[in-house]
Amino acid sequence: MPDKISSPDPYAARKRWMAVLARAGADAIARRLAGYADMPDFARLRGPEGGLVMARGRTGGAGAPFNLGEVTVTRCTVRSADGLVGHAYVTGRDGRHAELAAQLDALMQDEGRAAALEALVVAPLEAAEAARRAETAAKAEATKVRFFAMRNMRT
């Protein structure tokens, strides 16, 4: 059995771009993809189709697992004219979002296109998401209440 700590995940890059695409909206992806000239034709192999998946949680964050509830997801699988297959699962019922994410998944697997698509689509979407998270964190930090004990005020 290979050592998982010392061996890098061969799918880490794909996990990263799929996570970014799944969290971005269909309109944001389409706007970024509009500037890409080398877009091939795609055939749908499956979907887009909606369904439910069970979300699981853990008590206390690390304790016993429990079923939290069902989440609506949409999945899609496409094949490019070049023969590359892309898959996508996104939360919600937006079939266009799932299809665009699947198309980009297929294109990002092509080493000749991956760098251009990373710079044009994935990196800007990731930066926008980081900015949104930072803004939300800053707003939450501004409302944080700091309690102190009277004992700390004595000299």
Residue pLDDT, tens place only, 39-91 = 889 999 998 999 999 999 998 878 899 999 999 999 999 999 999 999 999 99
In the sheet with 42-58, reading across from the earlier edge strand, the strands are 42-58, 65-80, 85-91
Q: How many domains does the chain have?
A: 1
Q: Do the domain assignments include residue 86?
A: yes
Identify whether 103 is part of a domain: yes
Cα dist from 124 to 5, 37, 77, 88, whole Å: 30, 18, 24, 19
Domain that holds residue 93: 12-46+74-153
pLDDT tens-digit series, residues 122-151 = 999 999 999 999 999 988 888 887 776 656
* Backbone φ and ψ of 42, nearest 5°: -125, 145
The SS3 call for residue 79 is: strand
CA distance 59 to 36: 45
For the cut 70, the answer to whether the pLDDT of residue 5 exceeds it is no
